[in-house]
Amino acid sequence: MDPIQPKFYEAAFDITYQGNSFTMRGLVSESGITKIYLSAGLPDAWRERVGNPLKVKLDMFEIGAVLLQQQVSNGTFFEVRFQELPEPARQYIRRRIEAEGVSPGWKRDFPRIPVTRVVDPELPVPNLCMVRFVGQEIFVNVLNFTLGGIRIETLGDHLGELRVGSLLSFDLLTSNGEIMANLSAEVRNIATHEGSADGELQTTRSFGLRFQGMDSSNERKYRTLIRDYCTVLNKRLGGI
């Protein structure tokens, strides 16, 4: 038994769309399927489905999902994110994990803290980022944050030229009015999703950023923000 609590089991599955299917293999959890590596890449016929709804056939279950692509420093892999997981399928996945589960083989240094669209005045978060890129100042949303970095999201092609390893300069704005200026971060991974809105095709990109060389003043502000967030959350949960 792994010393770390198993969270996945490995399995083959099919993605299906309009009568066509393609077999893949990855690590299955209640959230979806990750670490799908394709040595020959994704067939051209399926590339337009990245970021769009399709079906996953996992043993006897057919599950609505979205196919995603992740770019990391050592290559590209795909993920399937379940949209609505039926309860029988959820219980089936749990039983499989209990019986044959594996630990993921990776571990986050720090947990992600989500940033919700509705501002909670008592919970300070970094919720807006002004990125300086090719002579432009682009405002993007912050999806989540950790002690080591943030994840941002943009709609359209504003940051479409960014690649894993690119360096970004930006200012970080918080929900309580604090500004951390002239920050720098490295792009560690990229996710691209394409979907339709009002009959138009829209591309959403999210970028995982790791801070680089944060100065002492900004580091103090950022650590204080995380401490204040955790203090408020702990009180709400009945902690001391």
For residue 190, give the nearest of 217, 211, 210, 163 by alpha carbon.
Answer: 163
pLDDT tier at 63 (50, 70, 90 boundaries)?
Answer: very high
pLDDT tier at 215 (50, 70, 90 boundaries)?
Answer: very high
What is the rounded average pLDDT of the residues 191-202?
71
Distant-in-sequence contacts of 85-91, Cβ < 8 A, 24+ apart:
85/30, 86/61, 88/61, 89/58, 89/61, 89/63, 90/30
| Residue 135 DSSP label | T
What is the rounded average pLDDT of the residues 59-80?
85
pLDDT at 205: 86
CA dihedral 209, 213, 215, 219 (to 10 degrees): 40
User: 22-53: per-residue pLDDT in tens?
Assistant: 999 999 999 999 999 998 888 988 988 887 78
Place of tokens 């709804």: 53
What is the rounded average pLDDT of the residues 55-62?
96
Answer with the residue of higher pLDDT: 140 or 107. 140
pLDDT tops 60 at residue 216: yes
pLDDT at 107: 60
Q: How far is CA 17 from CA 28, 50, 54, 191, in A?
A: 20, 12, 6, 21
pLDDT tier at 1 (50, 70, 90 boundaries)?
Answer: very low
pLDDT tops 90 at residue 85: yes
pLDDT at 134: 86
pLDDT tier at 2 (50, 70, 90 boundaries)?
Answer: very low
pLDDT tier at 195 (50, 70, 90 boundaries)?
Answer: low
User: 103-126: per-residue pLDDT in tens?
Assistant: 766 666 667 888 987 878 889 999
98 vs 100: CA distance, rounded Å? 6
β 179-197/136-145 pair status: unpaired
Domains and CATH numbers, the chain: 9-100 (2.40.10.220), 113-236 (2.40.10.220)
Indicate the range of 56-70, 94-108, 209-223 predicted with least confidence: 94-108
pLDDT tops 80 at residue 74: no
